[in-house]
Amino acid sequence: MARDTLVKLGREVVACGRCPRLRRWCQDVAKTKVRRFRDETYWGRPTPGFGDPTARLLIVGLAPAAHGANRTGRVFTGDRSGDFLYAALHRAGFANQAAAVSRADGLLLKDCYITPIVRCAPPANKPTTEETANCREYLSREWTLLGNVRAVLALGKLAQDGLIAALRAIDIVFERRAYAFGHGVSHDIGNGVQLFASYHPSQQNTFTGRLTPRMLDAVLRDIRQHLRRRSA
């Protein structure tokens, strides 16, 4: 069997056809577009993870946005959620710039890797339980390949639940059956890895003030402190 790598995994993700409903939706969105992006060529395929292969911080989101990553081909790129997230990562020193508009914009992540639990944009941002399970293998393999991870940031409860399920699928055993979710909550999940939680940077949360830049900055400061302790 050929050795698994993040590059190999990324190619498999892009070529994935496990969920016909999601594939049709991504392709339909890529054809119909929206007015503000009507002159752009949409990605219209599953979206792989992105970042530093030696990262100690893994960030897990839900799924690509229909006119964000499904258009640009890179997670959290080209939409308001990504604008909010990458600006915070830049302030915290995990990204070389705050802007994330395309795969060719020069953005680099430092000590950080970002991936979704579902690789295709789902209608109404709601993948089914079966569709989420179909993608679980990809996150499990990423975890194995990202051998330096010491902190995980789950963006939303669904992302946190998806991460735990992916780790259990590769026989990583946890002391608890479930982990409480709440913004700023953290859990020791063993082997020196700390799980941190944040509300998802969706417009529903950021436009209403449920998640503010200061709130996300505080979580990223906690992550920095944890990583410093682990390297001491």
Reported pTM: 0.96
Task: Strand 50-51: give its sheet, edge to edge.
Answer: 50-51, 112-116, 57-61, 151-155, 194-198, 186-188
- The answer to whether residue 173 scores a pLDDT higher than 80 is no
Compute the C-alpha angle 56/157/210, nearest 5°. Answer: 100
How many separate helices (H) and strands (E) can be counted in the chain?
8, 6
We find that the CATH architecture of domain 6-231 is 3-Layer(aba) Sandwich (3.40)
User: What is the pLDDT, as a whole number, of residue 232?
Assistant: 65
Q: How confident is the model at residue 48 (pLDDT cuts 50, 70, 90)?
A: very high
- The answer to whether residue 2 scores a pLDDT higher than 70 is no
pLDDT one-digit tens code per residue, 109-143: 999 999 999 999 999 999 999 999 999 999 999 99
Q: How confident is the model at residue 178 (pLDDT cuts 50, 70, 90)?
A: confident
Per-domain residue ranges for the chain? 6-231
Parallel, antiparallel, or unpaired for β 57-61 and 151-155?
Answer: parallel
Q: Give the number of residues written for the chain.
A: 232
Mean pLDDT over all residues of the chain?
A: 96
Q: Residue 178 CB: number of other CB atoms within 10 A?
A: 9
End-to-end Cα distance, the chain: 38
| Tokens at 103, concatenated | 């795969």
User: What is the pLDDT, as a whole number, of residue 177?
Assistant: 73
